[in-house]
Amino acid sequence: MDGSTINEYAGPDAPPPSGEPSAADKLLALARDIKKFEVDIEEALGYSYGSYSLDDIVKGILAGRFHLYTHNQSFLIFEPQQSPGYMIYHAFLAGGKLEDLLEMQTRVKPVAQALNAKYATMNGRLGWKKPLEKLGWEARYLVMYKEVT
């Protein structure tokens, strides 16, 4: 890593990173990160077919429903998803530089394990396939869409 920190807002059940800041400090840092990544998050939301707004994302992070990770100029937003069979820790929004996103993986696994998730899954660009495979991720399927309204 380059010495910069990975900021994490993964809800009350996430294992704390070392040197845990106060709740007030975490809230201020979250506000700064939301403003810093506001345009990037809205751009990424463009790929979600209007299923969420920026306000939905912020409210979800504050409620602990979504988990935001930031590092340098990049972000990941995860959502724990409970199915009848098991928990999935799913990254449904991401933006920034691939190198930063890869570095954030060091915090994803412990949080997923603390949530008793069986799998971590991620939506992403086709160009992420090879670098993520080197970290143990595998491509399972292709997602296609068609508007039906």
What pLDDT is recorded for position 17? Answer: 60
Q: Is residue 35 a contact partner of residue 29, using CB atoms and an 8 Å limit?
A: no
What pLDDT is recorded for position 3? Answer: 46
What pLDDT is recorded for position 44? Answer: 93
* First-to-final CA distance of the chain: 46
Strand 67-71: give its sheet, edge to edge: 6-9, 67-71, 74-82, 87-95, 117-122
User: pLDDT 10s digit of each residue in the chain, 149 long?
Assistant: 444 566 666 665 565 566 677 778 888 888 999 999 999 999 999 988 889 999 999 999 999 999 999 999 999 999 999 999 999 999 999 999 999 999 998 888 899 999 999 999 998 888 888 998 998 899 888 778 888 88
The fold of the 6-133 domain, in CATH, is Aminopeptidase (3.40.630)
Please report, for the chain, the start and end positions of each structural domain, with discontinuous segments joined by +.
Answer: 6-133
Q: And the tokens for 34? A: 């939301």
What pLDDT is recorded for position 124? Answer: 83
Q: Is residue 12 a contact partner of residue 111, using CB atoms and an 8 Å limit?
A: no
What pLDDT is recorded for position 1? Answer: 44
CB atoms inside a 10 Å sphere around CB 60: 16
